[in-house]
Structure 1
Amino acid sequence: MKNINIKSTVLVLTLLITLISCDNNYEDETPSIASLAVSNPNFSTLEAAAVQGGVAVVLSNSNPNDPSGKYTVFAPTNAAFAKLGLVDAGSLGVLQNGFLTNTLLYHVSNGNLLANQIQGGNASTSALGVDRRFIDRNGDLYINGSKIVATNVNASNGTIHAIDKVMIATGVNIVESAQLLQTAKVFKSPELTFLVQAVVTSGLAPVLSDPNNNFTIFAPTDAAFKEAGFATIQDVANTDPIVLQQVLLNHAIVGGSFTSEQTSTTVTTAGGGTLTYSVFQNGVFTIVSNGITSPANMVIPDIQCSNGVVHLIDKILLP
């Protein structure tokens, strides 16, 4: 019996030492931000984007630009990417790599920002150098127009907060932002080519590019112009500039606002018209103007520019 007790004691001690050793190893091997994205199936598109955009290695290591060595990442889920039609690594190919890299950096900030430090009305500077706003809407926290759906996922080199919508910032003014889409600097297939022509022909380019002005712009896509009867860009160029100006001003609201900051159901446009918003649902709403019967939907909401916020929509808001 004595031999059995000694053997049992040795066995128990061995197991304890093994468990303690394993626990210490676990603490030492807390995964990095990049590793967590790899291991979590809800972030597989983000993982692919980080690889394509060249930031996966950065988020695998400590942050050399902060004394803490930490990053904070507001991580779009797969569902967030899917709202842009980006459902896997293959579909990311429609984006230019430079734009993708900047978009990812817009979701990153230096230091460890925990959930209890995130409050509505505050802001946080991104690794791109552009500030993001925190908005408290009925108890839900948003960063710009993206809802924060999970917080404080701990990593060896920082913290992850999951969000339900990809954040986009151009770093340039409203006109220059439209030109980025027009010249395929964002998507490899150009977009907003009709809108840029309309802005130029109408003479509104200086107003919309002025850093002292701040607007919310509902920007119709090329398909929206075609649906409204403009078959070609030349058709837009041939339109009376006064008419184009009246139409475009019906898409502009003084003051740049994200979807999460829009609380009124009606708003007056820069042209003196009225837009009516639907109920805010899942981070977006639809818009109706006096000149249309069916509402315009948001294709890509909440694009932050240096002098406002742009929301791409699928219809022209006729006055």
Structure 2
Amino acid sequence: MDIASGNEDFSILVEAVVKAELVAALSGEGPLTVFAPTNAAFRNLFEALGVQGIEELSREQLTPILLYHVIGANVLSTDLSNGQKAGTLFGNDVTITFQGDHIRVNSSRVIQADISASNGTIHVIDQVLIPAGNIESFTLVNAETDEDIININDGDIIDIASLETTKLNIRANVDLVNTGSIKFELNGAKLRTENLFPYAAFSDSNGDYNEWHPETGDYTLTATPFSFKNARGVEGPVKTISFSVVNSANIVELALQNPNLSILVEAVIKAELVDALSAEGPLTVFAPTNAAFRNLFEALGVQGIEDLSREQLTPILLYHVIGANVLSTDLSNGQKAGTLFGNDIIATFQGAHIRINDSRVIQADVIASNGTVHVIDQVLIPAGNIESFTLINAETDEDIMDINDGDIINIASLETTKLNIRANVDLVNTGSVKFALNGAKLRTENKFPYAAFSDSNGDYNEWHPETTDYTLSATPFSFSNARGVEGPLKTISFTVVNNPNIVQLAQQSPNLSILVEAVIKAGLVDALSAAGPLTVFAPTDAAFHNLFEALGVQGIEDLSSEQLTPILLYHVLNGQILS
């Protein structure tokens, strides 16, 4: 210390030794070797650290730096060899290298060697030696509050469900607050280099930690300290830990942890499916994001979940659930999987992407306690099933009867010939139904009530069927205009006939109107509408006019029931007698 104190170029070194309370240690019996930085070297350090001088560095900061310049032995320059490592009183080694005639200690150059002192030797150097420090531990940090959660040790298992947040970060704790930088690697790949305390693996802004949302899985985190920023200077010992992230939350709890699945959670609650999706399982859920739900709302012309009923939501949500644990590695291209709704979904591979129907898996294999969640970018809409067909009275818009395969529809037995047919689906939010009649495309209906011959908001258009055989096919789709998922085809064949009874046949003929009037007046409608068989000789209106003239009456109104009955019955034979 006497030599340093007597040299003005070591005044800052002396000031640092005094502040660090190391005067007695460096003035002891020794032997010691000191690598003594010049004042210029210290000024370069102050500039690098962004400080004005020694007064801005604490004793705790200065002590390790100064001890890193001292070897507990007398080492002359002639004792040094190229590549030699020498332990310091700080603990970390310095490294000696030869460059031509120059000796370097780490990155500094010896500018004056072998100054003898009573207790050792001084070598003057042109840079302050900065020890890289040691990574003592890693701490899991709450990135919402910037508060410590727990220290992470090698082999630890971190259960996301036990934490207050899923917004995390990890801090490397060093034994030197002035470590120049720390280089982080995650699972063997470079993560980042942090130049400032608090050395956050996933970065920070002056201690405001950035968010890391870890997926469940195994991790290996490596941190290497350096004495200067940008991973330069002296490299300290590597610190590595391996740990696992798990989530003991069930599928619903997992969704609650993810702010991007909040609309899904809202839908599950409204559909009263919380208990079902929280059960033991195993289950696999394809979870649409909030953006996916907003796209659905726009397609349906609604504002949000509040505009959809429980009855509408339930089949949609169940169509996203498989009653088994299915990882992404279990899927194959073209694979069909049954859902709790009943209809299948289809998995396809497009390059590195997995598609479920038309949606893309954007995050796979999120493990829950009762199964697996795959996050998708579209809501899956089941196409529904065509349950039946109904014949409609297009005059009154009322149902007439269901039509089944093989039915014969007798036009004469109906109140009207103005008809339509409705396809009845098991989902009121089926996107569209495509109809074909006798093998030819008929139309695609995009709105309930899915009328084969169209309608205007439930006011059915008229179809006047000819008497013939018909085959009607209907295919449901999950979106409008026969797009999206195609549901099962429903086909029926039926025959339209016109087989009126004798009275109905007469009513259809304008030339037999007086005969009909007479039959009604005589009370013979039921008798002539019976099963028969009967044969009727039906007088024309002209024939009746001739009778009225012969009888001297004006018309049927001048004849009584008693007079008409025998005349009419005289025209009827039992049995079917053809010409």
> Quick check: which one's strand share is greater?
2
Structure 1 or 2, whichever has the larger Rg, is 2
Work out which structure has the larger RCO, using CA pairs closer than 8 Å and 6 or more positions apart in sequence.
1
Question: Structure 2-normalised TM-score?
Answer: 0.29
